[in-house]
Structure 1
Amino acid sequence: MRINMQIKQTPSGAIAYCDATLETISTQWFTYDYWLNLSAITGSSKGRYTTWFVKPDISATDESEWVLRHYYRGGLMEKLSKDSYLFTGLKNTRAVAELSLLELLYSEGFAVPKPIAANVERNGLYYRADIIIERVDGAQDLVAQLSKSPMSDTQWQQLGACIAKFHQRGVYHADLNAKNILITPDKFYLIDFDRGEIRNPNPKWQGANLERLLRSFRKELAKLPSLAFTESNWQSLMKGYSQA
Protein backbone atom coordinates (compact mmCIF):
# COMPACT_ATOMS: atom_id res chain seq x y z
CA MET A 1 0.00 0.00 0.00
CA ARG A 2 1.28 3.45 -0.89
CA ILE A 3 2.25 5.90 1.82
CA ASN A 4 -0.06 8.90 1.52
CA MET A 5 2.12 11.91 0.85
CA GLN A 6 0.84 15.10 2.45
CA ILE A 7 1.55 18.65 1.24
CA LYS A 8 1.81 21.56 3.67
CA GLN A 9 2.05 25.09 2.34
CA THR A 10 4.64 27.36 3.98
CA PRO A 11 5.22 31.13 3.67
CA SER A 12 8.11 30.48 1.31
CA GLY A 13 7.01 27.32 -0.48
CA ALA A 14 5.83 23.87 0.57
CA ILE A 15 6.73 20.78 2.57
CA ALA A 16 5.85 17.26 1.44
CA TYR A 17 5.79 14.59 4.13
CA CYS A 18 4.99 10.88 4.20
CA ASP A 19 3.54 10.36 7.69
CA ALA A 20 0.38 12.02 8.97
CA THR A 21 1.91 12.19 12.47
CA LEU A 22 4.37 14.80 11.14
CA GLU A 23 1.67 17.43 10.64
CA THR A 24 3.56 19.83 12.94
CA ILE A 25 6.57 19.77 10.62
CA SER A 26 8.04 23.16 9.72
CA THR A 27 10.84 24.53 7.59
CA GLN A 28 13.03 24.67 10.71
CA TRP A 29 13.27 20.89 10.62
CA PHE A 30 15.39 21.23 7.50
CA THR A 31 18.07 23.37 9.15
CA TYR A 32 21.21 22.37 10.99
CA ASP A 33 20.62 24.96 13.74
CA TYR A 34 17.23 23.52 14.68
CA TRP A 35 18.66 20.09 15.44
CA LEU A 36 21.78 21.55 17.04
CA ASN A 37 19.65 23.49 19.51
CA LEU A 38 17.91 20.23 20.42
CA SER A 39 21.27 18.51 20.89
CA ALA A 40 20.02 16.02 18.31
CA ILE A 41 22.93 16.02 15.83
CA THR A 42 24.43 12.52 15.95
CA GLY A 43 26.94 12.69 13.12
CA SER A 44 27.58 13.64 9.51
CA SER A 45 28.77 12.39 6.17
CA LYS A 46 31.14 14.60 4.22
CA GLY A 47 31.38 14.55 0.45
CA ARG A 48 31.37 17.72 -1.64
CA TYR A 49 28.98 19.00 1.02
CA THR A 50 27.89 17.80 4.46
CA THR A 51 24.89 15.57 5.12
CA TRP A 52 23.67 15.54 8.73
CA PHE A 53 22.42 12.67 10.88
CA VAL A 54 19.86 13.63 13.52
CA LYS A 55 17.83 11.85 16.17
CA PRO A 56 14.23 13.00 15.69
CA ASP A 57 13.17 12.09 19.22
CA ILE A 58 16.03 12.42 21.68
CA SER A 59 13.87 10.93 24.45
CA ALA A 60 13.18 7.73 22.50
CA THR A 61 14.96 4.54 23.50
CA ASP A 62 15.30 3.21 19.95
CA GLU A 63 18.24 4.07 17.73
CA SER A 64 16.33 5.42 14.72
CA GLU A 65 17.94 8.42 13.03
CA TRP A 66 17.15 10.69 10.12
CA VAL A 67 19.40 11.93 7.33
CA LEU A 68 19.10 15.61 6.40
CA ARG A 69 20.43 16.55 2.96
CA HIS A 70 20.41 19.86 1.12
CA TYR A 71 20.38 19.85 -2.69
CA TYR A 72 23.48 21.27 -4.34
CA ARG A 73 24.35 21.59 -7.99
CA GLY A 74 27.31 19.84 -9.53
CA GLY A 75 29.36 20.21 -12.67
CA LEU A 76 29.49 23.43 -14.64
CA MET A 77 26.13 24.66 -13.30
CA GLU A 78 27.64 24.82 -9.82
CA LYS A 79 29.71 27.79 -10.95
CA LEU A 80 26.54 29.71 -11.82
CA SER A 81 24.45 28.73 -8.80
CA LYS A 82 25.46 26.52 -5.90
CA ASP A 83 21.97 25.39 -4.87
CA SER A 84 19.29 27.24 -6.87
CA TYR A 85 17.05 25.55 -9.44
CA LEU A 86 14.40 26.76 -11.88
CA PHE A 87 10.89 26.16 -10.47
CA THR A 88 8.53 24.46 -12.93
CA GLY A 89 6.03 23.03 -10.45
CA LEU A 90 6.23 21.41 -7.03
CA LYS A 91 6.14 17.82 -8.27
CA ASN A 92 9.03 18.60 -10.63
CA THR A 93 11.36 19.84 -7.90
CA ARG A 94 14.26 17.53 -7.19
CA ALA A 95 13.28 17.05 -3.57
CA VAL A 96 9.60 16.18 -4.09
CA ALA A 97 10.40 14.02 -7.12
CA GLU A 98 12.94 12.03 -5.11
CA LEU A 99 10.63 11.73 -2.12
CA SER A 100 7.82 10.52 -4.38
CA LEU A 101 10.04 7.89 -6.00
CA LEU A 102 11.25 6.68 -2.61
CA GLU A 103 7.65 6.56 -1.40
CA LEU A 104 6.72 4.28 -4.28
CA LEU A 105 9.74 1.99 -3.97
CA TYR A 106 9.56 1.75 -0.18
CA SER A 107 5.86 0.85 -0.34
CA GLU A 108 6.67 -1.89 -2.85
CA GLY A 109 9.29 -3.43 -0.56
CA PHE A 110 12.44 -2.29 -2.34
CA ALA A 111 15.62 -1.87 -0.33
CA VAL A 112 15.63 1.92 -0.10
CA PRO A 113 15.61 4.29 2.89
CA LYS A 114 12.21 5.17 4.33
CA PRO A 115 11.13 8.58 2.99
CA ILE A 116 10.27 11.21 5.62
CA ALA A 117 9.83 14.69 4.15
CA ALA A 118 11.00 17.24 1.57
CA ASN A 119 11.18 21.02 1.77
CA VAL A 120 10.96 23.45 -1.15
CA GLU A 121 11.60 27.16 -0.64
CA ARG A 122 10.86 29.47 -3.57
CA ASN A 123 12.50 32.75 -4.44
CA GLY A 124 10.85 34.14 -7.55
CA LEU A 125 11.45 31.79 -10.47
CA TYR A 126 13.88 29.65 -8.51
CA TYR A 127 13.87 27.32 -5.53
CA ARG A 128 16.15 25.63 -3.01
CA ALA A 129 15.36 22.27 -1.48
CA ASP A 130 16.11 19.72 1.23
CA ILE A 131 15.11 16.13 1.95
CA ILE A 132 14.87 14.00 5.09
CA ILE A 133 15.02 10.21 4.93
CA GLU A 134 15.43 7.56 7.60
CA ARG A 135 18.99 6.38 8.13
CA VAL A 136 19.50 2.69 7.35
CA ASP A 137 20.46 1.12 10.66
CA GLY A 138 23.81 -0.65 10.79
CA ALA A 139 24.73 0.20 7.21
CA GLN A 140 27.88 1.46 5.56
CA ASP A 141 28.63 2.25 1.95
CA LEU A 142 30.52 -0.24 -0.20
CA VAL A 143 33.68 1.85 -0.38
CA ALA A 144 33.88 1.90 3.43
CA GLN A 145 33.18 -1.84 3.54
CA LEU A 146 35.71 -2.79 0.86
CA SER A 147 38.39 -0.56 2.34
CA LYS A 148 38.32 -2.80 5.43
CA SER A 149 37.45 -6.28 4.22
CA PRO A 150 36.38 -8.14 1.07
CA MET A 151 32.92 -9.43 0.25
CA SER A 152 32.29 -13.07 -0.63
CA ASP A 153 31.34 -14.22 -4.11
CA THR A 154 27.85 -14.89 -2.75
CA GLN A 155 27.57 -11.29 -1.56
CA TRP A 156 28.68 -9.96 -4.94
CA GLN A 157 26.04 -12.11 -6.62
CA GLN A 158 23.43 -10.89 -4.13
CA LEU A 159 24.37 -7.31 -5.00
CA GLY A 160 23.95 -8.07 -8.70
CA ALA A 161 20.54 -9.60 -8.04
CA CYS A 162 19.54 -6.55 -5.99
CA ILE A 163 20.40 -4.18 -8.84
CA ALA A 164 18.61 -6.45 -11.32
CA LYS A 165 15.43 -6.24 -9.23
CA PHE A 166 15.47 -2.44 -9.50
CA HIS A 167 16.16 -2.59 -13.23
CA GLN A 168 13.37 -5.09 -13.84
CA ARG A 169 10.98 -2.63 -12.16
CA GLY A 170 12.28 0.09 -14.47
CA VAL A 171 14.07 2.04 -11.75
CA TYR A 172 16.69 4.35 -13.25
CA HIS A 173 19.30 5.51 -10.73
CA ALA A 174 21.01 8.62 -12.09
CA ASP A 175 24.19 8.15 -10.03
CA LEU A 176 24.69 4.45 -9.38
CA ASN A 177 28.12 4.31 -7.78
CA ALA A 178 29.83 2.37 -5.01
CA LYS A 179 29.12 5.03 -2.39
CA ASN A 180 25.39 5.01 -3.18
CA ILE A 181 25.12 1.34 -2.27
CA LEU A 182 24.85 0.43 1.40
CA ILE A 183 25.55 -2.95 2.94
CA THR A 184 24.09 -4.30 6.18
CA PRO A 185 24.68 -7.75 7.69
CA ASP A 186 21.78 -9.18 5.67
CA LYS A 187 21.12 -7.06 2.56
CA PHE A 188 22.07 -4.24 0.20
CA TYR A 189 20.31 -0.88 -0.17
CA LEU A 190 20.41 1.75 -2.90
CA ILE A 191 20.40 5.39 -1.78
CA ASP A 192 20.41 8.90 -3.29
CA PHE A 193 17.69 8.81 -5.93
CA ASP A 194 18.08 12.45 -6.94
CA ARG A 195 17.08 12.68 -10.64
CA GLY A 196 16.00 9.03 -10.54
CA GLU A 197 12.83 7.91 -12.30
CA ILE A 198 10.74 4.99 -13.47
CA ARG A 199 11.44 4.08 -17.09
CA ASN A 200 10.49 1.30 -19.44
CA PRO A 201 13.10 -1.44 -18.91
CA ASN A 202 15.66 -1.28 -21.70
CA PRO A 203 19.09 -2.93 -22.04
CA LYS A 204 20.63 0.35 -23.26
CA TRP A 205 20.09 2.48 -20.13
CA GLN A 206 20.42 -0.54 -17.84
CA GLY A 207 23.80 -1.36 -19.37
CA ALA A 208 24.90 2.27 -19.04
CA ASN A 209 23.85 2.15 -15.37
CA LEU A 210 26.05 -0.89 -14.78
CA GLU A 211 28.97 0.63 -16.69
CA ARG A 212 28.75 3.71 -14.48
CA LEU A 213 28.94 1.50 -11.39
CA LEU A 214 31.95 -0.37 -12.76
CA ARG A 215 33.74 2.92 -13.49
CA SER A 216 33.11 4.02 -9.90
CA PHE A 217 34.66 0.83 -8.51
CA ARG A 218 37.70 1.30 -10.73
CA LYS A 219 37.95 4.96 -9.72
CA GLU A 220 37.87 4.08 -6.02
CA LEU A 221 40.45 1.34 -6.60
CA ALA A 222 42.76 3.85 -8.28
CA LYS A 223 42.50 6.09 -5.21
CA LEU A 224 42.94 3.18 -2.77
CA PRO A 225 44.89 0.25 -4.30
CA SER A 226 44.15 -1.89 -1.22
CA LEU A 227 40.39 -1.68 -1.90
CA ALA A 228 38.96 -5.21 -1.97
CA PHE A 229 37.68 -5.09 -5.53
CA THR A 230 38.78 -7.15 -8.53
CA GLU A 231 37.47 -7.77 -12.02
CA SER A 232 36.54 -11.24 -10.77
CA ASN A 233 34.27 -9.60 -8.18
CA TRP A 234 32.57 -7.72 -10.98
CA GLN A 235 31.99 -10.95 -12.89
CA SER A 236 30.32 -12.39 -9.77
CA LEU A 237 28.10 -9.31 -9.57
CA MET A 238 27.14 -9.70 -13.22
CA LYS A 239 26.42 -13.40 -12.68
CA GLY A 240 23.96 -12.52 -9.93
CA TYR A 241 22.47 -9.80 -12.14
CA SER A 242 21.93 -12.08 -15.12
CA GLN A 243 20.47 -14.91 -13.06
CA ALA A 244 17.99 -12.74 -11.13
Structure 2
Amino acid sequence: MKFKKIVQGDIAFCDHTPNQIEPNWFNAEFWREKSAITGSSKGRYTTWFVDAGVIDTEQSQWVLRHYYRGGFIAKFSRDLYLFSSLHKTRAVAELSLLDQLYKQGFAVPKPIAANIERSGLFYRADLIIERVAGAEDLVARLSKMSMTESQWQALGETIAEFHNYGVYHADLNAKNILISNDKFHLIDFDRGEIRKVNPQWQQANMSRLLRSFKKELAILPSLNFSEANWQQLHQAYIAKLQN
Protein backbone atom coordinates (compact mmCIF):
# COMPACT_ATOMS: atom_id res chain seq x y z
CA MET A 1 0.00 0.00 0.00
CA LYS A 2 1.33 3.42 -1.00
CA PHE A 3 0.21 6.89 0.07
CA LYS A 4 0.25 10.30 -1.58
CA LYS A 5 -0.35 13.51 0.35
CA ILE A 6 -2.87 15.90 -1.17
CA VAL A 7 -4.43 19.12 0.01
CA GLN A 8 -6.46 18.35 3.15
CA GLY A 9 -5.99 14.60 2.84
CA ASP A 10 -4.33 11.54 1.39
CA ILE A 11 -4.67 9.08 -1.45
CA ALA A 12 -3.92 5.41 -0.78
CA PHE A 13 -3.17 3.21 -3.77
CA CYS A 14 -1.96 -0.28 -4.63
CA ASP A 15 1.20 -1.49 -6.36
CA HIS A 16 -0.55 -1.86 -9.72
CA THR A 17 -2.19 1.60 -9.62
CA PRO A 18 -0.81 4.25 -12.00
CA ASN A 19 1.66 6.37 -10.02
CA GLN A 20 0.36 9.64 -11.46
CA ILE A 21 -2.98 9.18 -9.69
CA GLU A 22 -4.74 12.52 -9.08
CA PRO A 23 -7.47 13.64 -6.64
CA ASN A 24 -9.86 14.54 -9.49
CA TRP A 25 -10.07 10.86 -10.43
CA PHE A 26 -12.45 10.52 -7.46
CA ASN A 27 -14.83 13.12 -8.88
CA ALA A 28 -17.55 11.94 -11.26
CA GLU A 29 -17.48 15.32 -13.01
CA PHE A 30 -13.88 14.66 -14.11
CA TRP A 31 -14.98 11.53 -15.96
CA ARG A 32 -18.13 13.18 -17.29
CA GLU A 33 -16.06 15.93 -18.92
CA LYS A 34 -14.03 13.23 -20.66
CA SER A 35 -17.21 11.40 -21.76
CA ALA A 36 -15.85 8.41 -19.83
CA ILE A 37 -18.85 7.53 -17.65
CA THR A 38 -20.11 4.21 -19.00
CA GLY A 39 -22.90 3.52 -16.53
CA SER A 40 -24.06 3.68 -12.95
CA SER A 41 -25.65 1.66 -10.19
CA LYS A 42 -28.27 3.33 -8.04
CA GLY A 43 -28.74 2.13 -4.48
CA ARG A 44 -28.92 4.54 -1.56
CA TYR A 45 -26.63 6.71 -3.69
CA THR A 46 -25.07 6.47 -7.15
CA THR A 47 -22.00 4.38 -7.92
CA TRP A 48 -20.30 5.32 -11.18
CA PHE A 49 -18.71 3.08 -13.81
CA VAL A 50 -15.94 4.85 -15.72
CA ASP A 51 -13.60 4.06 -18.60
CA ALA A 52 -10.14 4.45 -17.08
CA GLY A 53 -8.58 3.91 -20.49
CA VAL A 54 -8.91 7.65 -21.12
CA ILE A 55 -6.20 8.35 -18.54
CA ASP A 56 -4.12 5.16 -18.87
CA THR A 57 -4.41 2.79 -21.84
CA GLU A 58 -3.42 -0.16 -19.65
CA GLN A 59 -6.49 0.34 -17.42
CA SER A 60 -10.02 -0.87 -18.09
CA GLN A 61 -13.39 -0.19 -16.46
CA TRP A 62 -13.36 1.22 -12.94
CA VAL A 63 -16.03 1.60 -10.28
CA LEU A 64 -16.10 4.89 -8.33
CA ARG A 65 -17.92 4.90 -5.00
CA HIS A 66 -18.33 7.67 -2.43
CA TYR A 67 -18.92 6.65 1.19
CA TYR A 68 -22.28 7.66 2.59
CA ARG A 69 -23.78 7.03 5.98
CA GLY A 70 -26.90 4.96 6.42
CA GLY A 71 -29.54 4.69 9.10
CA PHE A 72 -30.60 7.31 11.60
CA ILE A 73 -27.24 9.10 11.79
CA ALA A 74 -27.44 9.94 8.07
CA LYS A 75 -30.07 12.56 8.97
CA PHE A 76 -27.35 14.54 10.75
CA SER A 77 -24.25 13.67 8.71
CA ARG A 78 -24.61 12.45 5.15
CA ASP A 79 -20.98 11.57 4.45
CA LEU A 80 -18.76 12.82 7.28
CA TYR A 81 -16.90 10.34 9.51
CA LEU A 82 -14.84 11.01 12.63
CA PHE A 83 -11.11 10.83 11.82
CA SER A 84 -8.82 8.93 14.20
CA SER A 85 -6.09 7.62 11.90
CA LEU A 86 -5.59 7.15 8.18
CA HIS A 87 -5.51 3.35 8.37
CA LYS A 88 -8.80 3.28 10.30
CA THR A 89 -10.74 5.28 7.74
CA ARG A 90 -13.46 3.27 5.99
CA ALA A 91 -11.90 3.63 2.54
CA VAL A 92 -8.30 2.77 3.43
CA ALA A 93 -9.41 -0.17 5.57
CA GLU A 94 -11.52 -1.56 2.72
CA LEU A 95 -8.78 -0.96 0.14
CA SER A 96 -6.23 -2.71 2.37
CA LEU A 97 -8.50 -5.72 2.89
CA LEU A 98 -9.25 -5.98 -0.84
CA ASP A 99 -5.55 -5.72 -1.64
CA GLN A 100 -4.76 -8.58 0.74
CA LEU A 101 -7.54 -10.78 -0.61
CA TYR A 102 -6.79 -9.99 -4.25
CA LYS A 103 -3.13 -10.93 -3.80
CA GLN A 104 -4.24 -14.20 -2.17
CA GLY A 105 -6.31 -15.05 -5.24
CA PHE A 106 -9.77 -14.53 -3.77
CA ALA A 107 -12.66 -13.63 -6.04
CA VAL A 108 -12.84 -9.91 -5.25
CA PRO A 109 -12.58 -6.86 -7.51
CA LYS A 110 -9.07 -5.59 -8.19
CA PRO A 111 -8.49 -2.66 -5.81
CA ILE A 112 -7.18 0.60 -7.28
CA ALA A 113 -7.17 3.50 -4.82
CA ALA A 114 -8.86 5.29 -1.92
CA ASN A 115 -9.27 9.01 -1.30
CA ILE A 116 -9.44 10.59 2.16
CA GLU A 117 -10.44 14.26 2.34
CA ARG A 118 -9.97 15.82 5.79
CA SER A 119 -12.35 18.44 7.18
CA GLY A 120 -11.34 19.37 10.72
CA LEU A 121 -11.95 16.36 12.96
CA PHE A 122 -13.85 14.59 10.20
CA TYR A 123 -13.24 13.11 6.76
CA ARG A 124 -15.00 12.15 3.56
CA ALA A 125 -13.91 9.14 1.52
CA ASP A 126 -14.04 7.55 -1.92
CA LEU A 127 -12.95 4.20 -3.33
CA ILE A 128 -11.97 3.07 -6.82
CA ILE A 129 -11.94 -0.60 -7.77
CA GLU A 130 -11.78 -2.38 -11.10
CA ARG A 131 -15.13 -3.44 -12.51
CA VAL A 132 -15.58 -7.22 -12.81
CA ALA A 133 -15.96 -7.77 -16.55
CA GLY A 134 -19.32 -9.09 -17.71
CA ALA A 135 -20.68 -9.44 -14.18
CA GLU A 136 -24.10 -8.71 -12.71
CA ASP A 137 -25.38 -9.04 -9.18
CA LEU A 138 -27.39 -12.10 -8.16
CA VAL A 139 -30.67 -10.24 -7.87
CA ALA A 140 -30.35 -8.96 -11.43
CA ARG A 141 -29.43 -12.45 -12.68
CA LEU A 142 -32.16 -14.28 -10.77
CA SER A 143 -34.79 -11.78 -11.89
CA LYS A 144 -34.17 -12.97 -15.46
CA MET A 145 -33.19 -16.62 -15.21
CA SER A 146 -32.53 -19.45 -12.81
CA MET A 147 -29.15 -20.86 -11.80
CA THR A 148 -28.22 -24.50 -12.06
CA GLU A 149 -27.64 -26.73 -9.06
CA SER A 150 -23.91 -26.72 -9.78
CA GLN A 151 -23.90 -22.91 -9.78
CA TRP A 152 -25.63 -22.77 -6.39
CA GLN A 153 -23.10 -25.27 -5.08
CA ALA A 154 -20.21 -23.24 -6.50
CA LEU A 155 -21.55 -20.16 -4.73
CA GLY A 156 -21.67 -22.03 -1.42
CA GLU A 157 -18.10 -23.22 -1.91
CA THR A 158 -16.93 -19.70 -2.77
CA ILE A 159 -18.37 -18.27 0.46
CA ALA A 160 -16.81 -21.13 2.44
CA GLU A 161 -13.39 -20.31 0.98
CA PHE A 162 -13.69 -16.76 2.33
CA HIS A 163 -14.87 -18.01 5.73
CA ASN A 164 -12.08 -20.57 5.96
CA TYR A 165 -9.60 -17.70 5.63
CA GLY A 166 -11.43 -15.73 8.32
CA VAL A 167 -12.98 -13.14 6.01
CA TYR A 168 -15.91 -11.46 7.69
CA HIS A 169 -18.24 -9.62 5.29
CA ALA A 170 -20.28 -7.01 7.15
CA ASP A 171 -23.09 -6.98 4.58
CA LEU A 172 -23.24 -10.34 2.82
CA ASN A 173 -26.37 -10.06 0.71
CA ALA A 174 -27.52 -11.12 -2.74
CA LYS A 175 -26.68 -7.76 -4.31
CA ASN A 176 -23.10 -7.93 -3.02
CA ILE A 177 -22.45 -11.14 -4.93
CA LEU A 178 -21.61 -10.89 -8.63
CA ILE A 179 -21.77 -13.66 -11.20
CA SER A 180 -19.74 -13.65 -14.40
CA ASN A 181 -20.19 -16.82 -16.44
CA ASP A 182 -19.98 -19.44 -13.67
CA LYS A 183 -17.64 -17.51 -11.36
CA PHE A 184 -18.80 -15.62 -8.29
CA HIS A 185 -17.20 -12.51 -6.78
CA LEU A 186 -17.94 -10.86 -3.45
CA ILE A 187 -18.02 -7.06 -3.42
CA ASP A 188 -18.50 -4.17 -0.95
CA PHE A 189 -16.14 -5.01 1.92
CA ASP A 190 -16.87 -1.80 3.83
CA ARG A 191 -16.39 -2.64 7.55
CA GLY A 192 -15.19 -6.11 6.59
CA GLU A 193 -12.16 -7.65 8.28
CA ILE A 194 -10.06 -10.74 8.85
CA ARG A 195 -11.24 -12.45 12.04
CA LYS A 196 -10.38 -15.56 13.98
CA VAL A 197 -12.46 -18.34 12.48
CA ASN A 198 -15.58 -18.81 14.56
CA PRO A 199 -18.87 -20.59 13.74
CA GLN A 200 -20.87 -17.79 15.40
CA TRP A 201 -19.97 -15.00 12.97
CA GLN A 202 -19.86 -17.41 10.04
CA GLN A 203 -23.45 -18.49 10.70
CA ALA A 204 -24.48 -14.85 11.21
CA ASN A 205 -23.07 -14.08 7.74
CA MET A 206 -25.05 -16.95 6.20
CA SER A 207 -28.25 -15.99 8.03
CA ARG A 208 -27.90 -12.46 6.72
CA LEU A 209 -27.53 -13.80 3.18
CA LEU A 210 -30.65 -15.96 3.52
CA ARG A 211 -32.65 -13.00 4.84
CA SER A 212 -31.58 -10.94 1.85
CA PHE A 213 -32.77 -13.62 -0.58
CA LYS A 214 -36.13 -13.78 1.21
CA LYS A 215 -36.40 -9.98 1.18
CA GLU A 216 -35.75 -9.82 -2.57
CA LEU A 217 -38.24 -12.65 -3.14
CA ALA A 218 -40.90 -10.68 -1.25
CA ILE A 219 -40.23 -7.69 -3.52
CA LEU A 220 -40.19 -9.80 -6.69
CA PRO A 221 -42.17 -13.06 -6.27
CA SER A 222 -40.95 -14.27 -9.68
CA LEU A 223 -37.32 -14.22 -8.49
CA ASN A 224 -35.68 -17.53 -9.34
CA PHE A 225 -34.88 -18.52 -5.77
CA SER A 226 -36.34 -21.31 -3.65
CA GLU A 227 -35.67 -23.22 -0.45
CA ALA A 228 -34.18 -26.00 -2.59
CA ASN A 229 -31.68 -23.52 -4.05
CA TRP A 230 -30.67 -22.43 -0.56
CA GLN A 231 -30.15 -26.04 0.50
CA GLN A 232 -27.94 -26.62 -2.54
CA LEU A 233 -25.86 -23.57 -1.61
CA HIS A 234 -25.76 -24.31 2.11
CA GLN A 235 -24.89 -28.00 1.83
CA ALA A 236 -21.97 -27.20 -0.48
CA TYR A 237 -20.91 -24.46 1.94
CA ILE A 238 -20.92 -26.83 4.93
CA ALA A 239 -19.02 -29.50 2.99
CA LYS A 240 -16.29 -27.01 2.07
CA LEU A 241 -16.09 -25.33 5.48
CA GLN A 242 -13.09 -26.22 7.62
CA ASN A 243 -13.89 -26.74 11.30
TM-score when scaled to structure 1? 0.96
Q: How does 1:165-176 map to 2 (within 5 A)?
A: 165-176=161-172
The residue number in structure 1 matching 2:38 is 42
CA contact (8 A) 2:16 2:112 kept: no
SS in 1 for 2:158: helix
Report the aligned-residue RMSD. Answer: 1.4
Per-residue Cα deviation, 1:94-124 (whole angstroms, up to 9, x for no partner): 0000000000000000000000000000001
Q: Structure 1 CA distance, aligned partners of 2:113 and 2:58? A: 20
Does the alignment pair 1:56 with 2:52?
yes
Are residue 112 (structure 1) and residue 108 (structure 2) matched? Answer: yes
Q: How much identity, in percent, do the aligned residues show?
A: 65
Cα deviation, residue 21, structure 1: 5.4
The superposition leaves residues 56-75 of structure 1 with CA deviations (integer Å, 9 ceiling, x where unpaired) of: 11388889200000000001
Answering whether residue 53 of structure 2 is matched by residue 75 of structure 1, we say no
Task: Compute the TM-score of the two structures, normalised by the length of structure 2.
Answer: 0.96
Contact 1:55–1:64 under 8 Å retained in 2: yes
Give 2:133's aligned residue: 137
How many residues get paired? 240
Match of 1:227 in 2: 223
Output the CA distance in 1 between the equivalents of 2:66 and 2:45.
9
Answer yes or no: is the 8 Å Cα contact 1:105–1:112 preserved in 2. yes
For residues 24-52 of structure 1, what are the alpha-carbon distances to aligned partners after superposition, in whole Å with 9 as ceiling and x for unaligned?
A: 11110100111111111111001110000
- The alpha-carbon distance between structure 1 residues 16 and 62, as it changes in their structure 2 partners (threshold 3 A), is closer
SS in 2 for 1:9: strand
Distance 1:178 1:21 in 2: 29
**Distance (whole Å) between structure 1 residues aligned to residue 56 and residue 7 of structure 2:** 31
Structure 1 Cα separation of the partners of residues 16 and 172 of structure 2: 31
User: Is the CA contact 1:64–1:137 (under 8 Å) kept in the aligned structure 2?
Assistant: no
Residue 206 (structure 1) aligned with residue 202 (structure 2)? yes
SS at match of 1:57: helix
CA distance, structure 2, for counterparts of residue 226 and residue 111 of structure 1:
29
State the secondary structure of the residue aligned to 2:54. coil
Q: Quote the offset at 1:77 in angstroms.
A: 1.2
Gaps of 5+ in 2: none
Contact kept? 1:177, 1:216, Cα under 8 Å: yes
Question: What is the rounded CA distance, in whole Å, between the counterparts of 2:148 and 2:60 in structure 1?
Answer: 29
How many Å separate the matches in 2 of 1:86 and 1:62? 36
TM-aligned CA deviation for residue 22 of structure 1:
1.8
Q: Distance in 1 between matches of 2:17 and 2:109?
A: 18
The match for 2:157 is: 161
Residue 173 of structure 1, CA deviation: 0.2
Residue aligned with 1:22, SS: coil
One-letter amino acid of the structure 2 residue matched with residue 6 of structure 1: K
- Counterpart position of 1:95: 91
Q: Please, which of 229, 234, 240 is the counterpart of residue 238 of structure 1?
A: 234
**Structure 1, unaligned runs of 5 or more:** none
Which runs of 4 or more aligned residues in structure 1 lie more than 6 Å from their structure 2 counterparts after TM superposition?
59-63
* Deviation of 1:23 (Å): 1.9
d(CA) in 1 for partners of 2:181 and 2:12?
A: 32
| Aligned residue runs from structure 1 range 172-183, under 5 A | 172-183=168-179
What are the Cα deviations for residues 120-159 of structure 1, in whole angstroms up to 9, with x where unaligned? 0000100000000000001000000000000011111110
Asked whether the 8 Å contact 1:6–1:20 carries over to 2, the reply is no
Deviation at 1:163, TM superposition (A): 0.2
